[in-house]
Amino acid sequence: MLLSLGLSRLHSRKWLWLTAAVPSFLLQHAIQGWCPPIEVIRRLNVRTRKEIEVERTALKALRGDFAHLNFQGMDAASAAAAALEAAEEPQPS
């Protein structure tokens, strides 16, 4: 926003449209969870925090970080707690 304000002062007042658009997109994203620039950002392969965490957990599983877990005889809550604990444990390098 500050850049567009500076550009409007130095070059053309048309840059003020960008200054108005950015807060409106932020407000729309806060209310609806979506805004037009999100499509552009997604096409640039910017991932969400959830996508990164899913990939990170999948890589841990491929590396074998969860091989020591045995869920036999555990109820669902205990198995879920053990899996979450294993996912959050830092592994020695």
DSSP-assigned letters across all residues of 32-83: HS--HHHHHHHHTTPPPHHHHHHHHHHHHHHHTTTTT---TT--HHHHHHHH
Distance CA 58, CA 44 (A): 23
pLDDT in tens, the chain (93 residues): 677 777 777 887 777 787 788 888 889 889 998 888 888 888 999 988 888 988 888 888 888 887 887 778 888 888 888 887 777 766 555
Residue-level pLDDT at 91: 58
Q: How far is it, in rounded angstroms, from Cα 75 to Cα 72? A: 9
pTM over 0.75: no
Domain ranges of the chain: 2-35, 49-87
pLDDT at 31: 92
